[in-house]
Structure 1
Amino acid sequence: MARAATTTDAFNAVAEPRRRQILDLLAQGERPVNDLVAQLGLAQPQVSKHLRVLREVDLVRVRDEGRQRLYRLNPGPLRPIHAWLSRYEQMWNDRFDLMDAVLADLSEEDSNDNH
């Protein structure tokens, strides 16, 4: 089965770790590409390529300010990812609650064994 293009939706676009790093940086505020290059330690063409993919799925918006292009996060397209993940949140919470109960029981047993 052929792999979906990275530009088809936010799910595919954020599958790449460097793109998630870019989104994390842009979540802190608007930045020029040179700032992203410095923060990521990547070559400018690589960062620009990732930004192009993120722009194509509308996760990133750009505006010109003088000779600079400033990039900012557009969180709207992340909603489907959040909605999909939220279905698993209750399951994770239930499992963490069970683990907390098991750890509390083990701690109590250990406490009783030492007395």
Structure 2
Amino acid sequence: MARAATTSDAFNAIAEPQRREILMLLRGGERSVTELARDLGMSQPQASKHLRVLREVGLVRVREAGKQRLYGLDARGLRPIHEWVGGFERFWNGTFDRLDEYVRDLKQARQEEAADDDDQ
């Protein structure tokens, strides 16, 4: 089966762990490809390839600064991912609400047991 193109959307682009690492580094501010490659322990061509993919799906922007190209995070591209993950929020909130209710019931039962033991 053919592999999906990594440049088709943000979901595919961030499926690659090194690209997620690049995004994490760019949260701290703009960086050159040389800095990113050094910090990630990869070659400059590897880092450039990942940055190209991230730029094509709108997760990274680039700006010229003299002879350097500085890459920065464009978090607007993460919106589809945020919205998709947000759809699971109701599930997790409901799960945590049920867990909280269970813990309250358990505490109440233990308090009642302790009160019964004190009465005897």
Q: Cα deviations across residues 67-110 of structure 1 (Å, max 9, x unaligned)?
A: 21100111122111111111111101111222233345456666
Match of 2:78? Answer: 78
Partner of 2:19: 19
Cα distance in 1 for partners of 2:14, 2:58 equals 12
Distance in 1 (alpha carbons) for counterparts of 2:55 and 2:20: 13
Larger radius of gyration: 2
Overall identity of the aligned pairs, in %: 58
Distance 1:65 1:92, change over 3 A: same
Moved more, 65-74 or 35-44: 35-44
Does structure 1 residue 59 correspond to structure 2 residue 59? yes
Counterpart amino acid of 2:96? F
The correspondence of residues 29-68 of structure 1 with structure 2, limited to 5 A, is 29-68=29-68
User: Structure 2 regions of 5+ residues with no counterpart?
Assistant: none
Distance in 1 (alpha carbons) for counterparts of 2:85 and 2:61? 24
What CA distance in whole angstroms lies between the structure 2 residues aligned with 1:20 and 1:101?
A: 36
TM-score (norm 1): 0.83
**Residues 99 and 50 (structure 1 numbering): CA distance in 2 closer, same or farther, change over 3 Å?**
same
Unaligned runs of 5+ in 1: none
- Hey, what's the Cα distance between the residues in 1 that align with 2:85 and 2:67? 39
What is the match of residue 92 of structure 2?
92
Aligned CA distance change for structure 1 residues 12 and 110 (closer, same or farther; 3 Å):
same
